[in-house]
Structure 1
Amino acid sequence: MNDVNVAVIMSVYKNDNFSQIKEAVDSIMLQTLHCHLFVVADGPVCPDVHDYFLTIAGKNNCLFSVYYFPRATNLGLAPSLNELIDYVLQSENKYLYIARMDADDICYPERLQKQVDYFLVHQVVDVLGTGCVEFSSTNESIYTKILPEKNKTLKKELIKRCPFVHPSVMFRINLFRDGVRYPTDTKFTEDYAFWVLLAVKGYEFGNVQEALIKFRFESDVLARRRGLKKANSEFSARWNAMNQLDCMSLENIFYSFAIWGLRVVPPSIANIAYKKLR
C-alpha cells in the first residue's frame, strides 16, 4: 500500500499522435500530487506508442506508476473507460479518486492537487471538472473556458451544454463502486450520456473555477463534431435527457433542434456559431 490516492485513466487508439501522447503523459508525470496512470490501447496502435508504454510501465515506483493494458480489438471509448475503471477498482491500492485524461491534452502541474483540495472542502461533490485553455497546433492559446461551478446551475443547463470539459473530470471512486459505468449503447455522445445518467441518479456536480488543463483545439475538432449521424445521436441524447430529467420545454426543444442544425450546416457557419456560443 502507499499514499497515492488518485488513479488517472486514459485510452489511446491508432489515430492518436505519438508526440501528443508523450506530452499528455509527461504532464501527468509532472503533477505536484503523486498519482498512478492506467492506460488501455483500444485496438492496435503504432509500434512507437506500444513500445513507449511498455517501457515506462516497466519503471514503476510507489509515487508514479503506469499500468498498460494493450488490447487487440477496438471497442470504442466507453468500453475502454469502463475497462480502466474496473482495473482501478481491482487494484491492491485503495484509491479515493479517478481522473480522466485524453491522449492529446495537457494538464497543468497542479491540476490533480487542486481538484483533490476542492473535494476535501466540498464533501457533497461527486464529479468535479475544471476550466480549460483551448490551444492550437502552434501552441497558441485560443480561448479560456470556465464553466459554472455549482450543481444546480450545471444541471439546469444540461440540455444546452455539457456540464464539464470531459478530460478535466475527476470522480470520487465510490461513484464507481456503486456500479455506475459509461453507457455503451450510445455512439458519438458517450460523455454527454454519462453526465445525464449521473444527474438522474442524483450525483452532485461541480467545477473548479480555474483552467487546469490545455485542451487541444485543432482545425479538425469541429469537423469531428459534424455530420448527420453525429447530429442525430446528439439530438436523441438531448431528447432522452429532457424526458429523464423532466425538463421538456419549448426552449429546450428549440435549442436541441438548433444544435442539430449546426451539426449539418457548412463548416464556415458552424465555426462562427461555435465562437459565439462557447
Structure 2
Amino acid sequence: MDNHFTQINQVPEGIVFDAVVGMAVYREDRLEWVRQATQSILRQSYRNFVFCVVIDGEIPDDIASYLHEQADSEPRLILMQSKHNVGLSQCMNHIIDWAVPYAPDYFFRMDADDISRPQRLEKQIAFFRQHPDVDILGTALVEINEHGKRVGKRKLPLTHSEIVRFLPKRCSLNHPTVAMRFRVFEAGHRYRASLRNTQDYFLWIELAGAGFIFTNLADKLLQFRRVNDFYKRRGLSKSINEFKARLYAMRHLQKIRIGNIIYALAVLTLRLMPSRILKLAYKIDRLFLEKFVKH
C-alpha cells in the first residue's frame, strides 16, 4: 500500500460488502455539494457496499469536519487522507489497492459535486448479475447547474461495439456513472497515475484493447454538476491529453482513419478557442450525440 495515504477509520467488524464506491474531495469543493454527493451514496437502496472517500490534500475546514462526522456515525464510510494533492488517478488507485484483499465484486465511481439516484447501485449491480460478460458499465446522466436545476442531459452509445467505435472520436462513457467488475483490477489494470485529467479516457482505450466488455445503460442514474465555468475548465493540458487519447485509441484499437484524424484535429482547435466558442461546440456535440446515438 502507498504510505502517502493515511486511513482514518477502519471497516467495522460485521460489515459485509461486495461493492466499493470511490470518491475524492478537493480544496475547491463546496460543502453543500459534498454533502449531497455523500448522502446520495449513503442512502442507496443497495446496502452491501463501503464508501471510500479520499481527502486529497488540504480542504476547507467545514468539509473536513463534515466528513469526519459522517465517518464517525456511518459505518460504511471509510475516510482516507493524502499528505498533499495527488489527483484523481492516484486517489482511485489507492482505494482499489486497499480493497483488493477484501475481494469485492464491483467498483463504483463517484464525484464530490454530483448526485447519484437512490437506485443507482442496485440497477447497475442487477445488470452485472444478468450479464456476466460485461466488465465496465456506465449510464446516461442529467446535467444540473450550481443550484441543482436541470440544464441538459448526456446520453452515450449503449452497446460494446458502438462504445468502442466511438472511442477514437470521444470518451464514450460518463466517468462519474461508471461501475467496473473488480476482475478488471485483478488483471493488473489501473488509472494512469501520471495523469491529472483524461485518466478515464486512456483507461477505457486500454481496457477495450485488452478485450474487456463495455455497456452503457440508457437510465439517467446520476445528476452531473455543470457549473458556469464548465467551459473554461478544459484547459490546455486537458485539451492536449484528449488529443493524445484520440491518437492512442486510433493506434491501440487499429482505427487509424482520415475521418478520425480530422475529427481529433478539429476538436483540439475548438478546445483552444474562447469559452463562448467552446460553449457553442458543446451544444453541437450534444446535437451530434442526439443524431447518432439511438436509445
TM-score (norm 1): 0.94
Q: Which residue of structure 2 aligns with residue 272 of structure 1?
A: 280
- 8 A contact 1:146–1:210 mirrored in 2: no
Q: Identity across aligned pairs (percent)?
A: 35
Q: Which residue of structure 2 aligns with residue 89 of structure 1?
A: 100
- 8 A contact 1:44–1:73 mirrored in 2: yes
Deviation per residue, 1:87-122 (Å, 9 max, x gap): 22234xx42111000000000100000000111111
User: Equivalents in 1 of 2:138, 2:39: separation in Å?
Assistant: 20
User: Equivalents in 1 of 2:276, 2:71: separation in Å?
Assistant: 44
Structure 1 residue 31, shift from structure 2 partner:
0.6
The 10-residue stretch of structure 1 (18-27 or 142-151) with the greater mean CA deviation from structure 2: 142-151
User: Equivalents in 1 of 2:200, 2:110: separation in Å?
Assistant: 13
Out of 247, 255, 264, which is 2:263 matched to?
255
Q: Which residue of structure 2 aligns with residue 45 of structure 1?
A: 59
Does structure 1 residue 70 correspond to structure 2 residue 81? yes
Q: Which residue of structure 1 aligns with residue 210 of structure 2?
A: 201
What are the within-5 Å matches in structure 2 for residues 161-200 of structure 1? 161-200=170-209
- 8 A contact 1:187–1:233 mirrored in 2: no
What are the within-5 Å matches in structure 2 for residues 88-127 of structure 1? 88-91=99-102, 94-127=103-136
Does structure 1 residue 228 correspond to structure 2 residue 236? yes
- 8 A contact 1:132–1:145 mirrored in 2: yes
User: Equivalents in 1 of 2:19, 2:196: separation in Å?
Assistant: 28
Q: Which residue of structure 1 aligns with residue 9 of structure 2?
A: none
Q: Which residue of structure 2 aligns with residue 55 of structure 1?
A: 69
User: Structure 2: which 5+ residue stretches go unaligned?
Assistant: 1-13, 287-295
Q: 1:10 to 1:56 in 2, by over 3 A?
A: same
What are the within-5 Å matches in structure 2 for residues 134-153 of structure 1? 134-153=143-162
Report the AA paired with residue 17 of structure 1.
R
User: Equivalents in 2 of 1:32, 1:137: separation in Å?
Assistant: 26
RMSD: 1.4
User: Structure 1: which 5+ residue stretches go unaligned?
Assistant: none
User: Equivalents in 1 of 2:25, 2:147: separation in Å?
Assistant: 22
Deviation per residue, 1:203-251 (Å, 9 max, x gap): 10001111000000111112111x3333222211211221111111100
The 10-residue stretch of structure 1 (167-176 or 2-11) with the greater mean CA deviation from structure 2: 2-11
User: Equivalents in 2 of 1:232, 1:165: separation in Å?
Assistant: 20
SS at match of 1:58: helix
Q: Which residue of structure 1 aligns with residue 293 of structure 2?
A: none
User: Equivalents in 2 of 1:244, 1:26: separation in Å?
Assistant: 39
Q: Which residue of structure 1 aligns with residue 8 of structure 2?
A: none
TM-score (norm 2): 0.89
SS at match of 1:9: strand
Structure 1 residue 2, shift from structure 2 partner:
4.8
The 10-residue stretch of structure 1 (135-144 or 52-61) with the greater mean CA deviation from structure 2: 52-61
Q: Which residue of structure 2 aligns with residue 36 of structure 1?
A: 50
Q: Which residue of structure 2 aligns with residue 243 of structure 1?
A: 251
Structure 1 residue 136, shift from structure 2 partner:
1.0
Structure 1 residue 187, shift from structure 2 partner:
4.0
- 8 A contact 2:139–2:217 mirrored in 1: yes
In the TM superposition, structure 1's runs of 4+ consecutive aligned residues that sit over 3 Å from their partners are: none
User: Equivalents in 1 of 2:59, 2:100: separation in Å?
Assistant: 25
User: Equivalents in 1 of 2:136, 2:74: separation in Å?
Assistant: 28
Question: How many pairs align?
Answer: 272
